[in-house]
Amino acid sequence: MPGQDGPRLVLGSASPRRLELLAQIGIVPDQVRHADIDETPLKGESARGYVRRIALAKAAALELAPGDVLLCADTTVAVGRRILGKPASRAEAALFMRLMSGRRHRVLTAVVVRHAGRTRERLVETTVRMRPIGAAELDAYLDIGDWQGKAGGYAIQGAAAAFIPWIQGSFSSVVGLPLSETAAMLAASGITMKESAP
């Protein structure tokens, strides 16, 4: 049972989206922490290998009290073999958006749960199609500033939805945490909805 006697959930993420997504399924972490790690892709690294490595590194970087459950994740965008992380500038965000315009890309989220000496992980892949985006509307989109802090430089939960007619996979995973898979992983560690908790 969650609550006073159950395990404590530590969310190892600075992403406000991940906190909101957990709240959507009635899960409230007892603590939110995060460790800064180097997110540079290795030479020749695949997007799947990269996102797993980073999520595992985030989870390994935090000390846990006995019994605590740690949840970490990493989200990245891949266009073909090219990994698009968080753009460093508006110009880089524009480049990323032009790469994705009029074609499909993949959004990968790796979820890691550490508990009682065990580390579990899941990798969820979603395909997203963007319609062709004109120069003027791209400029207007970049003005909003949604590109900051987002893998690939866009937020499907924001104005970029206007560019996305179709996805195949998990919407919540694109936003940062695949909720169905995450709920199952947390339940396996004794973390469930807290609506009935004191």
Ligand X SMILES: Cc1cn([C@H]2C[C@H](O)[C@@H](COP(=O)(O)OP(=O)(O)OP(=O)(O)O)O2)c(=O)[nH]c1=O
- In the complex, minimum distance from the CB of residue 196 to ligand X, in angstroms, rounded to a whole number: 28
The yes or no reply on residue 191 touching ligand X (CB under 6 A) is no
Applying CB under 6 A, which part among 23-31, 93-101, 174-182, 189-197 lies near ligand X? 174-182
**Single residue of 10, 15, 70, 100 touching ligand X by CB under 6 A:** 15
Which residues, at least 6 apart from 153, have a Cβ–Cβ distance to it below 8 Å?
84, 86, 87, 92, 93, 96, 97, 147
Is 74 catalytic? The answer is yes
13 binds ligand X (CB under 6 A): yes
Gap between the Cα atoms of 102 and 130, Å rounded: 5
Among 152, 173, 185, 192, binds ligand X (CB under 6 A): 152
Of the residues 151, 183, 186, 191, which one makes contact with ligand X according to CB under 6 A: 151
Residues whose CB is less than 8 angstroms from the CB of residue 154 and which lie 6 or more positions away in sequence, other chains included: 93, 96, 97, 100, 141, 146, 147, 160, 163
Q: Which of 36, 74, 143, 146 is catalytic?
A: 74
Q: With respect to ligand X, which residue has the nearer C-beta, 71 or 191?
A: 71
- Residue 109 vs residues 47, 52, 196: alpha-carbon distances, Å: 10, 8, 30
Number of residues in contact with ligand X under rule CB under 6 A: 24
185 near ligand X, rule: CB under 6 A? no
Work out whether 175 is an interface residue with ligand X (CB under 6 A): yes
Choosing from 77, 97, 123, 191, the residue that interacts with ligand X (CB under 6 A) is 77
In DSSP terms, 126 is beta-bridged to 107
Nearest residue to ligand X, by Cβ distance, number only: 13
In the complex, least distance from residue 159 CB atom to ligand X, rounded to whole angstroms: 11
Distances (CA, A) of 81 to 43, 78, 106, 162, 178: 12, 6, 10, 25, 22
Q: 177: number of CA atoms within 13 Å, CB side? A: 27
Question: Hey, which residues between 79 and 138 contact ligand X (CB under 6 A)?
Answer: 86, 107
Rg, C-alpha atoms of the chain: 17
Would you please indicate which residues are annotated as catalytic (active-site) residues? 74
State the residues that interact with ligand X by CB under 6 A: 13-15, 17-18, 34, 58, 73-75, 77, 86, 107, 149-152, 154-157, 174-176
